[in-house]
Amino acid sequence: MLVLGVLFATGSFIASSILAPHKQESDSKLAPYECGIVPEFDPPMRFPVRFYLVAMIFIIFDIEIVFLYPFAVEARLLGSFGVVEVALFSVVVFATLLFLVAEGALSWGPVKRLTKAMPSRTSESTIARITAEPSDRAA
Amino acid sequence: MALEDLPHNFLTGRLEDLVRWARRASVWPASFGLACCAIEMMATGGADFDLSRYGMEVFRNSPRQADLMIVAGRVSQKMAPVLRQVYDQMMEPKWVISMGVCASSGGMFNNYAIVQGVDQIVPVDIYAPGCPPSPETLMHAILTLHEQIRTGHILRRRDNEPLGEATGGDSVQSPWTPEITTTVRLGTPK
Amino acid sequence: MTTGTRDISDAGRAGRDEALMGETSEGAQELKPRSLTSPDQLGRESGAVLRLPEGPVLDPTSLDVERPDDETMIINMGPQHPSTHGVLRLMLELDGEFVLRTKPVIGYLHTGMEKQAEELTYVQGATNVTRMDYLSPIINELAFSLAVEQLLGVEIPSRATWIRMLMSELNRVSSHLVWMATNGMDVGSTSMMIYGLREREMILAFYEKTAGLRMNLNYVRPGGVAADLPDGWEDDVEVICDTIEARTYEYDDLLTGQPIFHQRMEGVGTLAAEEALALGLTGPLLRSTGVPWDLRRAMPYLYYDQVDFDVIVGTYGDNFDRYAIRLNEIRESIRIVRQCVQRMPDGDYRTQDAKVTPPPRGRIDSSMEALIHHFKLFTEGFKVPVGETYCAVESPRGELGMYLVSDGDSKPFRLHVRGPSFVNLQAVPLLMRGGLMSDTITVISTVDPVMGEVDR
Amino acid sequence: MTFPTSVGLGGERVSFVPREQYKDTVRALRDDGYEMCVDVCAVDYLGHPGRELPDGVAPERFEVVCNLLSLSRKERTRLRVQVPETDCRVASLFELYPGTEAMEREAFDLMGVVFEGHPDLTRILMPEDWEGHPLRKDYGVGRVPVQFKEAPGPR
């Protein structure tokens, strides 16, 4: 079985390198696509911290899943002890999430927002209709 | 050794037809909407003149995922290099429909600001007449392009393209993107 | 143009091909990184500072958002972009998701129409002007014809004026429908795109029946209209009015109730009345700040003072107000169209002044003068006395003005078009400052620039 | 500070302001109640047979036309400022009406009239490396000659 797998993998690599058309990519094709403009300044690779906070949230749950899988396999063997153990573990993981959200990892609201609690508006509620006064009407 | 060196015979005949049929049936246009023709292109994509009957209902916005560039509208001198850049960044195989008389030949604006015909910048496959071409005209242009794809070559562009003859598969530059690009920049016309 | 073989990894990262970059860079028109811009320029750009005499004056040198150069990123929301409604290029300086500075770079659809207008005679002038604002072609032609008639001093029959009002109001409805469609698509409801364009097809079918063309129809000409309304037009217009009126309530349920729509539109891109006036904004953008200024009501042209309709005015001046204004303006225009249908008088649809109107085709074969008149009018065109005039109408985007200078010849000496989108586009940096990247999409959509009219 | 005025066809007041008093007049008008500057454009009068200018106004080649609008009084006014060809400069209205920034850049780009005091006077419509100002009368239209016999080059 293993040999078949390895053979298939290497076989597909070899086939694609042979059959694929070999073309020299032009410069503009490799340039990053910015809506048709070739950018003059290279974008800095330093991203603001907010992006990394969101990545941390993902990693927390990633680790949690890594531990859930072996538990799920042996769940019947571990019995109630396993369930309590995993519940405890996920509570601890959830605490880190609470900390991150408290730190403001998910509050991405813009700097300037008019009013927080704005009354829920319909298409009629915030507009005024101004009908013509008699003085305007000529005929 | 690549696809283009395959001998055209009975065995490979079916393969080419299959490839051509697959390409013809799902051409995805890049929405290169410039002026009034862009509104007609949107109307063609709308409910009444449904483009998705040809498998084209998705207007891909990035050139990386598009096969067909519909140049819809007049191309100004400032827009010419951008058009060339987006065309170069499209994946092969790619085709170009020049929609409307302004794209095809400068139309009624024969002045300093408009490139007189987009075929001075990119090789064009189909010219759709009209100002703006009505959705039926655009669909007829698309059907003609499908016919061209079905009867064309797999890896080379049609031979009678005016710009930079395609010298078979061996030219370093891909046959879809001709080497010489003549972005016309009229300075001060005398 | 492309140099020889290049190391693939190198091309992507550092070395931009100068020839390639030189082609698409616009040098001084672009947004420079912070280190290259002077403090005053930086203050002006990031604050979009409006030195209003009495309003809150933001000192350009005092910056509340200070970022070192390598933390912010300047990207192009460039000419070929799905949601810039045409070939508008916005250079945005982003700090992560927040927009710090914006600079629109326009000119990618500059067609030299004002130079072209000096080459075409007055008879052909409408064909050039109608391609400027391609969402409301009839209103462009109306402004051009009113300016020429003002210079000529010719009186047009009342039926022609009523037909002009009917067609320009239908054009306002079709332009707002395209706006509803693209705005819905920008906020994520693709079904709105299909509905908006489906209703618009009904109006375009009526245009095709009347003028022969769906768009760019050279219908409103100096001296009246090109052709009379087809017989049986009343019930066509009746069907259009009833269907679109009913469908606007459908759009209302579809869009206004959605929480996503509320979050993306409410409180985003707010504008104060003094800022709008200082920037010279007009149209739904100005009315959303509460200023009741609609040319059809304030300085009525055609017969707008004999027709009753409401001017819709917003309160907060944010995106949601502009959406509500345009939605209700569709209903107002339908009201006007219904009144036009009832009050349409009989009579001829073009002024009988032989200097301006070509004789009917039938008479050409019979009488010699008709043939000469016809030939002279269409080759050389009619002469307009020396003078200059400024004539403004209310287009769906704001005040569309035509400044026409004539030198007695049959071609305009100078035609300057005051495009409402060209001026409204200057509010974009002010509305976007401090907002999120996703707010830029809704701000561009609600400012509703049509690039044909911006770049002319 | 009185200057000749006339009445435009639309009933609006047209005043012919000398170049030096242009900015002060606009400031006076703005305080007088003209809240919005609707349009600033430049016109090239080279080869114009003869425009009716009130006496005391020397006709120059260029003319900067500024349209003001008073929303309270529902009234328009137009200022026509003569600008000589040799010294193509006019004061910018950016301090009074920030909305005229793009209009003045367009007038500079297409006609070549320099607006002093404008924060960012660069081209707005034409490409950056374009030489010449297209809307001037001595600037060719740039027509590509159309021969119907044989089309020039790759059409």
- Residues 6 or more apart whose Cβ sits within 8 Å of residue B102: B35, B37, B73, B74, B75, B108, B109, B114, B131
Give which of C186, C177, C172 is closest to C265, Cα–Cα.
C186
Query: Mean pLDDT of all residues in chain D?
Result: 86
Write the CATH number of the domain with boundaries D5-48+57-116: 3.30.460.80
Please enumerate residues of B whose Cβ is less than 8 A from a Cβ of C: 31-36, 38-40, 42-43, 46-48, 59, 61, 73-74, 76-79, 81-82, 84-86, 108-109, 111-114, 131-132, 134, 172, 179-181, 183
Say what percent of chain C tops pLDDT 90. Answer: 52
pLDDT single digits (tens) D14-71: 999 988 999 999 999 999 989 999 999 999 998 888 787 877 788 889 999 999 999 9
Residue C56, pLDDT > 60, answer no
HSE-up of residue C244 (Cα within 13 Å, Cβ side): 32
What is the mean predicted confidence (pLDDT) over C2-19?
39
Range of the domain at C190: 121-380
CB C290 within 8 A of CB C281: no
Beta bridge partners of C75: C92
pLDDT of B89 reads: 87
Rounded Cα–Cα distance for residues D44 and B135 (Å): 42
CB D145 within 8 A of CB D152: yes
Hey, CA dihedral for B162, B164, B169, B175, is it positive or negative?
Answer: negative
Nearest to D99 among C392, C408, C423 (CB): C423
Which tokens in the block code for residue C265? 């539109």
Which residues on D lie below 8 Å from C50 (Cβ)? 98
pLDDT of B133 reads: 93
Query: Mean pLDDT of all residues in chain A?
Result: 81
Q: Write down how long chain B is.
A: 190
- What's the longest Cα–Cα distance across chain C? 81
What is the mean predicted confidence (pLDDT) over C164-181?
95
Which amino acid appears at position B38 of this protein? A
Binding-face residues of B in 114-173 toward D, CB within 8 A: 116-117, 119-120, 162-163
Residue in chain B nearest D110 by alpha carbon: B113
Decide if A82 is inside a domain. Answer: yes
In whole angstroms, how large is the CA radius of gyration of chain C? 24
The CATH number assigned to the domain holding C146 equals: 1.10.645.10
Query: Mean pLDDT of all residues in chain B?
Result: 79
Q: How many CB atoms lie within 10 A of CB D87?
A: 10
In the block, residue with structure tokens 């100078």:
C414
Give which of C293, C335, C323, C327 is closest to C311, Cα–Cα.
C293
Chain Cα centroid distance, residue C143: 13
CB C160 within 8 A of CB C224: yes
Beta bridge partners of D79: D15, D66
pLDDT single digits (tens) C345-381: 998 898 888 788 888 888 888 888 888 888 888 888 8
pLDDT of C150 reads: 92
CB C410 within 8 A of CB C152: no
Say what percent of chain C tops pLDDT 70. Answer: 89
Chain Cα centroid distance, residue B90: 11
Residue C213, pLDDT > 80, answer yes
Which tokens in the block code for residue C71? 């933390």
pLDDT of A134 reads: 63
Rounded Cα–Cα distance for residues A135 and C298 (Å): 12
Query: Looking at per-residue confidence, does A24 or D5 come out higher?
Result: D5
Which residues on C lie below 8 Å from A31 (Cβ)? 11-12, 16-17, 20
Query: Mean pLDDT of all residues in chain C?
Result: 85
What is the mean predicted confidence (pLDDT) over A51-65?
90
What is the mean predicted confidence (pLDDT) over B63-69?
89
Is D28's Cβ below 8 Å from some Cβ in C?
no
Range of the domain at A82: 45-107
Decide if A38 is inside a domain. Answer: no
Q: Total domain count for chain C?
A: 1
The CA-atom distances, in angstroms, between C331 and each of A124, C137, C247, C305, C324 are 12, 20, 10, 18, 11
Residue C115 region by backbone torsions, left for phi larger than 0, else alpha for psi between -120 and 50, else beta: alpha
In the block, residue with structure tokens 């200018």:
D53
Rounded Cα–Cα distance for residues C368 and C376 (Å): 12
Residue C263, pLDDT > 90, answer no
- Residues 6 or more apart whose Cβ sits within 8 Å of residue B184: B77, B80, B115, B116, B120, B121
Which tokens in the block code for residue A10? 């290497």
**Residue-range domain boundaries for chain B:** 28-151
Rounded Cα–Cα distance for residues D30 and D38 (Å): 12
What is the mean predicted confidence (pLDDT) over C2-29?
51
pLDDT of B16 reads: 81
Which residues on C lie below 8 Å from D146 (Cβ)? none
Which residues on D lie below 8 Å from B102 (Cβ)? none
In whole angstroms, how large is the CA radius of gyration of chain A? 30
Q: How confident is the model at residue B174 (pLDDT cuts 50, 70, 90)?
A: low
The CATH number assigned to the domain holding A60 equals: 1.20.58.1610
Q: Do D and A count as touching (3 or more CB pairs closer than 8 A)?
A: no
Q: How confident is the model at residue B3 (pLDDT cuts 50, 70, 90)?
A: low
Residue B85, pLDDT > 90, answer no
Out of 3.40.50.12280, 3.40.50.80, 3.50.50.60, 3.90.480.10, select the CATH number for domain B28-151: 3.40.50.12280
Give which of D126, C405, A32, A120 is closest to B112, Cα–Cα.
D126
CB B73 within 8 A of CB B36: yes
The beta-strand segments (E) located in C266-342 are 311-313
CB A124 within 8 A of CB C324: yes
Which residues on B lie below 8 Å from A19 (Cβ)? 1-3
Q: How many CB atoms lie within 10 A of CB D58?
A: 8
Decide if C210 is inside a domain. Answer: yes
Is C399's Cβ below 8 Å from some Cβ in D?
yes
What is the mean predicted confidence (pLDDT) over C255-276?
86
Q: How far is D58 from chain B (nearest CA, A)?
A: 31
Chain Cα centroid distance, residue D23: 14
Q: Are strands C311-313 and C224-225 parallel, antiparallel or unpaired?
A: unpaired
pLDDT of C17 reads: 53
HSE-up of residue A56 (Cα within 13 Å, Cβ side): 17
Which amino acid appears at position C95 of this protein? D
Residue from B31, B39, B181 to probe the interface with C (highest C Cβ count within 10 Å) = B39
Query: Buried b vs exposed e over A99-136: b needs ≥16 C-beta within 10 Å?
Result: ebeeeebeeeebebbeeeeeeebebeebbeeeebeeee
In the block, residue with structure tokens 């003028």:
C211
